[in-house]
Amino acid sequence: MVHGTNNNVPNTSFHYVVLTSGNITNALSNWTAVVTNPFKSDGTFDYTNPIVPGTPQQFFDVKAVP
């Protein structure tokens, strides 16, 4: 999976967190953070996870944090 965004609002005071869970109904507080990085200077980010055969289904979410 490759995921990215462009909010066109450069903001160096925030980071993004990519969260994952095997159960989409889990509360977000129970999801696992797999990466936390600053946004690029233009307000974008990119995240690519490896494709590993046999890996159980995963769901992803992204949130901005200060």
DSSP-assigned beta bridge partners for residue 16? 37, 64
> pTM for this structure?
0.77
Residue with tokens 């944090």: 65
Strand ranges, E, within 1-66: 2-6, 15-21, 32-38, 44-48, 59-65
User: What proportion of the chain, given as a percentage, has pLDDT over 90?
Assistant: 44
Residues 5 and 27: their CA atoms lie apart, in Å, by 23
Residues 65 and 62: their CA atoms lie apart, in Å, by 10
Q: What is the predicted pLDDT for the residue at 2?
A: 47
